[in-house]
Amino acid sequence: MPSGRGNSLRVAIVGASSLLGKELKQILEDRHFPASDTVLLDESVMAGTLTEAAGEATFIRALDEDSFEGAQFAFFCGALQDAERNRRTAEAAGATVIDLTGSLEAGRAQARIPSLDFVLPTGPGEAGAYSSPAAATIIACTVAAGLAKFQPKRVALLLFAPVSERDQAGIEELEGQTANLLSFRGIEQTVFDAQVAFNLLAGYGPESKASLADLRARIAREVVGYLGGRAAVPAIQLVQAPVFYGYAFAAYAEFSPEISHGDLEAAFASLGVKVAKTEDAAPSNVSVAGENEIHLGRIESDPNVAGGVWIWGAVDNLRLAATNAVRIAEELVAKPA
């Protein structure tokens, strides 16, 4: 396992052309991760694309048997199948795998959310393999961890997903649908098989490659796996929102007896969550753009249920997921050999 703080680490990013891959590369640079070389890898159709890393021009390379030679870390950010096909190759080359695609589920890799370690510490996982959860899972686990010591009677979480969770294709489809609807033209529905522009969706059309119900089930499964009985598991609902970036969410929790809002807000602040001050506006998809942390508005009482509270929040989905993955690597680098 990599250790030490020297500027001598070689890092490979698989799926470098994806939105998440690009964000991860930027986070590595922003946090001054000690990498002497960053290798950008992707499927062959993207190979040869000119980009930059650490301020220098470079090319995205095609995946092959030698892609991970000399790499200490291999981040998987793109297609799920790329992670499944190349994970063992990366490990055989001596790289520590950090998967952001969700391909390495429980038993195959250790799920890590470093910001929650002091509240919900994780035990040793499979050597050389770590799973960095998606933004929705980090949100749900953070809500559960923040409420845990107050022993809520019930917790429910409503997540509003941005189209960037479907990568660049989702961005382009929402953009195209919006422009065409405003011009009274027909819309393309290749990604969602439904009108996502100016709309909220509880499910995608039957021709969509992904099912919103399947995505919700995956989030729920990852949350149960990470919490492992250490905190109350929230009921989860997922809605597709017509926004490009940023998860917004509403959480409901019920306590008996009632809990001080200040105590709840302090518990979340201790997890690195930014809680709005009294004079601050509630966070939104726009206000959290470029921010690494989950942002919460002031906690409010439910008008009808004694002990019931509502929590509104938002987060930059790509930045949260990428920052979590880089923090895993930073902790591994900091560990003594």
On whether residue 101 sits in a domain, the answer given is yes
Q: CA 253 to CA 154: how far, in whole Å? A: 6
CA distances from 6 to 33, 153, 330 (A): 10, 48, 12
Q: Are residues 174 and 121 in the same domain?
A: no
Longest dimension (CA), the chain: 63
Q: Is pTM, for the whole model, over 0.75?
A: yes
Other beta carbons within 10 angstroms of residue 18's beta carbon come to: 22
Q: Are residues 243 and 297 in the same domain?
A: yes
Contact 16, 77 (CB under 8 A): yes
How many domains in the chain?
A: 2
The CATH number of whichever domain residue 308 belongs to comes to 3.30.360.10
On whether residue 64 sits in a domain, the answer given is yes
Listed residue (213, 164, 172, 215) closest to 190, CA to CA:
172
Q: Are residues 165 and 72 in the same domain?
A: no
pLDDT of 5 reads: 44
Q: Are residues 45 and 181 in the same domain?
A: no
On whether residue 282 sits in a domain, the answer given is yes
Q: Are residues 196 and 299 in the same domain?
A: yes
Q: Are residues 233 and 144 in the same domain?
A: yes
Residue with tokens 């909220």: 200
Q: Are residues 265 and 302 in the same domain?
A: yes
Please report which helix (H) or strand (E) contains residue 218, including its range: helix 212-227
Beta strands 50-53 and 56-59 are antiparallel
Return the amino acid letter for 77: C
On whether residue 2 sits in a domain, the answer given is no
Q: Are residues 114 and 177 in the same domain?
A: no
* Contacts with 69 (C-beta within 8 Å, 6 or more apart), sequence order: 93
pLDDT of 329 reads: 95
Listed residue (303, 253, 294) closest to 276, CA to CA:
294
Q: CA 151 to CA 171: how far, in whole Å? A: 39
* Contacts with 277 (C-beta within 8 Å, 6 or more apart), sequence order: none
Listed residue (179, 122, 173, 176) closest to 145, CA to CA:
122
On whether residue 1 sits in a domain, the answer given is no
Structural domain span for residue 120? 9-133+321-334
The CATH number of whichever domain residue 61 belongs to comes to 3.40.50.720
DSSP 154: E
CA distances from 306 to 5, 45, 153, 176, 261 (A): 52, 57, 12, 46, 13
* Contacts with 33 (C-beta within 8 Å, 6 or more apart), sequence order: 9, 11, 326, 329, 330, 333
pLDDT of 107 reads: 59
HEC profile for 104-129? CCECCEEECCHHHCCCCCCCCCCCCE
Q: CA 197 to CA 179: how far, in whole Å? A: 9
On whether residue 3 sits in a domain, the answer given is no
Q: Are residues 167 and 68 in the same domain?
A: no
Contact 249, 314 (CB under 8 A): yes
Q: Are residues 119 and 151 in the same domain?
A: no
Q: Are residues 153 and 107 in the same domain?
A: no
Beta strands 308-315 and 247-254 are antiparallel
Q: Are residues 102 and 61 in the same domain?
A: yes
- Stretches in the chain below the pLDDT threshold 50: 3-6, 48, 50, 52-54, 57, 126
Residue with tokens 């890092």: 11
On whether residue 4 sits in a domain, the answer given is no
